[in-house]
Amino acid sequence: MSHDNKTEQTVLVDELEGLKTDLLTLNMGPQHPATHGVLRIEIKTDSEIIASAKPYLGYLHRCMEKHSENLDYRGIIPFVDRMDYLAAMNQELGYCIAVEKMLNLEIPRRAEVIRVICAELGRIASHLMFFGTYLIDLGAFTPFLYAFNEREKILRLFEEVSGARLLYNYIWIGGVWNDFTSEHLTRVGEICDALHQQLSQYENLVTGNQIFLGRVSNVAVMNEELCYAYGATGPVLRGAGVKWDLRKNRPYSIYPELDFDIPVGKGEMGTLGDCYDRYYVRMMEMRESIKILRQCLDLIEEGPIMAKVPKVLKLPPGEIYHRTEAARGELGIHLISEGEKKPYRLKIKSPCFTHVSMLPAVAKGLMIADFVAAVGSIDIVLGEVDR
């Protein structure tokens, strides 16, 4: 190479080293298949590495809390259903308990047991949805088919007792609106037996799979300190190793009578609080829900399914904050009454909203594909985030 060419190349290298490049801004969503709903996340990337992520909410906002100020207490239940539409029974239960506490209502024993059966079946159906869709996020399609096969059995049962597959309006203030027959209870036992076997197959298929472990281990670590800072609850908090479950720590309904464990992340496949631990906790929770359901089948007894509730329902003046352990974390119901047929204010504390706000804290330094795994691991439903 001649002296002139060498000089020209040196000048070109110097110019390139002096260049300052901007970060590339990408929009993930609001209809991206891996965002689990109408969520838009603005990510700034340096090649494949994320420098920052900013969630934009509101695409599914329905003014649910404002609508509730113009509805009677019974009329709010269908609106509550539509928050976390993948675990609607848990939403209904939390709201109805808050209203019943203000009324000092005593719920019939049979209704209490049926409510817990519905809540735990709803938790399993929700976690099966997580299992199936999370593996699709990571590139595996077959587990989705297995999960939906089992979930369909639960939805069919719900459809028979409530008339709806997804949005039930089944748990009412004072009890439940329709009774479980002996045939329905037998089906619950069959679902438990089948799922117990299926969960072992899922673990053989997925949990020990090296490709899966490579995608979720040491990715998007949400440790105990971060969870406390943001107020994380549910599987996200338990995935960080914190043994906190309202069904045990602040029990309600018949949960004090039931024997079950609280699964927590252990950091067995990577760092404590990573995507794997959040996955692991939900898989173990399904096993615990099966234990709860089997105990409920032993506890259920004949009797009424509705308490005596006034036709025109007015709550005494005052306010209450009640929280329950829904499928995705602590669902808080803050209700203020002025003694009228309609609430003065209904405020929902959404666990999904909290978990979405944690994404910017873990996004920096992740590859784009790993960020998709992080979004899927917190298992959000945008109906509950936006309300």
Could you tell me the residue ranges of all domains in the chain? Answer: 40-386
Which range has the top average pLDDT, 140-144, 212-216, 228-232? 228-232
Q: What average pLDDT does the segment 170-191 reach?
A: 90
Q: Which of 88, 221, 107 is nearest to 164 (CA)?
A: 88
Half-sphere exposure (Cβ direction) of 359: Cα atoms closer than 13 Å: 30
Q: What average pLDDT does the segment 144-172 reach?
A: 89
Q: Note the pLDDT of residue 13.
A: 45
Q: Note the pLDDT of residue 204.
A: 85
> What is the architecture of the domain spanning 40-386?
Orthogonal Bundle (1.10)
Q: What average pLDDT does the segment 66-83 reach?
A: 90
**What's the mean pLDDT when you consider all of the chain?**
87
User: Residue 337: is its pLDDT beyond 70?
Assistant: yes
pLDDT in tens, 29-71: 777 655 677 888 888 888 888 888 999 888 888 898 899 889 9
Sorted by sequence, the CB contacts under 8 Å of residue 201 that are 6+ apart come out as 146
pLDDT in tens, 242-288: 999 899 999 988 999 999 999 998 888 888 888 999 999 999 999 99
Helices assigned H by DSSP within the chain:
3-17, 64-68, 77-81, 88-103, 109-137, 142-162, 182-202, 210-216, 224-230, 234-239, 246-249, 275-299, 351-356, 359-363, 368-377, 382-386
pTM above 0.85, yes or no: yes
